[in-house]
Structures are given as structure tokens and as C-alpha cells.
A and B are shown apart, each in its own frame.
Chain A
Amino acid sequence: MMNLIILLAVVVVAGAVLSVQAAINGRLGETVGVLRSSLLTFVVGAVSTGLLILFFEPAHAVSLLDVPKWQLSGALFGVVYMMVMVGAVPRVGTAVATVAVIVGQLGMGMLIDNFGWLGNPAIELSGSRVLAMVLLGLALVFMYRSSTRQA
């Protein structure tokens, strides 16, 4: 229980870090273009992760070359996401695009959890999980309403 709370706190902080990153990259993307700003992010990310691995990662029996290839396809989804957003946001608007992404994210997340797809442990959809989704949905509605009022 205690571990779970710490883990949850770490994930929340990661969300905050991510939105700082999005803000910095957004500025960068406006000046140098999305492709170059993303490449920069990914290269710096790869190099810094590589350094961490060299100095801190313990040896593992299984390497990236041993796992089934489909397990390495995660980055493709990130790149496709980026390109879809670049094309769609100017046409459908930021608010609609954001909500659509979250709907897709949470919907797919629930499906993967519920059926244990992709080798994940199956977590059945419980009442409190559904309620958590509903609360988040309401929170997004309030965020949206307050931002349209200010604009």
C-alpha cells in the first residue's frame, strides 16, 4: 500500500515533468519545426539513457536483441502520434484533439488492462476504476470550461 502511494506520486510528478517538456518542445518546434525539435529530443534522450545504462544498469540475462521484435515497436506509435497531431491540431483545434487523444488513451488502456494484452498482467475493470475515469472526465470538462472563459 505504502509502495503503491509512492509509485503513484512518482507517476504524477512524471506527468508534471512531461508537461514542462511539452512546453519547452512546443517553443522549440515553433522556431525550428516539429521534425527537428523531435529528433533533438529523441537523440538527447537516447544519448543520456545510454550513459545511464553504461554506468548504472546491472547486467540482464535477456537483452533487447533476444525479445520478440514486436516488443520493440513502441517508438513507432509515438512517431505516428506526433505526425497525426501535427496534421490534425490546426484543423480540429487543440481542445478537441486533446480530448480525442485522452479518450483513445484511456479507452485503449482499459482494454489492455482488462484483457492483459501485450503480455501485461490482466486487471479487471472494477467499480472504483470506472469511477476514477468519470472523475477525470469531469475534471477535463471543468478545465476546458475555465480555459474558454479566459480566452
Chain B
Amino acid sequence: MQSSSIDIAAAPASKPGLRLLLLPLVILAGMGLSVEAGLLGPLGVQVGHLWATLSIFGVGSAILFLLLLFSGPQQGPALNTLPRWQLIGGFLGPMYVVVLTLATPHIGIAMTMIAILSGQVGKSVLIDHFGWFGATRKKVNGERWLALLLIVAALVLIARG
């Protein structure tokens, strides 16, 4: 269900040898996301978009439940002590998956992924610029506007086919 988060930040890295070993693994994981999207489109056409979405969340819930059960007691506070708004992430995920099943049969997987990435990048630039959702208003520098412009151009190219 997840896609890559685009809020790129430079983070400290460790030994170069380990990095080289891990990179192919991360690339493979990214390829898996496209395979997931590729499975969803045709499935949605056959059984309905919501059923296809349920298959993702149902199977995912079951696997994670088993993983959690066998990984023993967890650190940190109990879920029912957390602020309620932190729990709404679960409602946003299905929106994304439904859109994936709707879009991939029409524009293809690669282009769907580009459009998703555009939304991620665009959102972060606009939130910073206008200070939406209570974020501190930051000046968005020229490079990030240029990035947004390039992305819009990419979308126009996709729309024209």
C-alpha cells in the first residue's frame, strides 16, 4: 500500500560496503510497489475497485497481526492513549489504493507512479509556501519551484500521451 515518501532529507549514512549491499534490496522493494500496483489494476476491473482494495488491507492486516503476535511485547505507549488524530492515517490509505486500481488500467503503472510522486512533491512545496495545516510558513526557494515546474511539465506530457 505504501509508496515512497518524497520528503527528501539528507541523513547520515554508514559504511559504504553495507550500503552497496542494501541498495539493490531497496530498489527491489521499490519494484515490489509497482508489482503491487500492477496486480491491483486488473484485479479491480474483475472484482470491483473496493474489493481489490479490501484484498490489500485484509491480507496486510492479517500478516501484520501475525508478525506482531510473534515479535513479542512492543515498546512505547498503548494505542488507546494516543491523540485521536494520529489514528486517521488509516482512512487515507484506502483512498490511495482505490485511486491506484482506478488509474493504472487507463494511464499505465509508470505514469500513475509519476502522478503520485507529483502530488507528494507538490504538497510539500505548497504546504511550506502557504503554511497550510499549521505548518510554519517557510520561504520556498527557486530550486523547489523549478522542481514543481518540471513535474507539471511531466504531467502535461503524460496527459498528451
Q: Chain A interface (Cβ within 8 Å of chain B)?
A: 1, 4-5, 7-8, 10-28, 31-33, 35-46, 48-50, 52-53, 56-58, 60, 62-64, 66-67, 70-82, 84-85, 87-89, 91-110, 112-113, 117-121, 123, 126, 128-129, 131-133, 135-136, 138-140, 142-151
Contact = CB atoms under 8 A, between A and B. Distances in A.
Interface residues of B, number: 117
Main secondary structure of the interface of A (DSSP, over half): helix
Interface string B8-28: 111111100011001101111
Contact of A151 (B9, B59, B148): B9
Given A71-B43, A80-B32, A109-B109, A12 B118 contact: yes
A118 B38 contact: yes
B39 A17 contact: no
Nearest to B14: A91
A45 B26 CA distance: 25
Contacts of B105: 120-121
Given A19-B120, A49-B50, A151-B10, A32 B77 contact: yes
Contacts of B9: 94-95, 147, 151
Given A10-B99, A10-B102, A96-B23, A31 B76 contact: yes
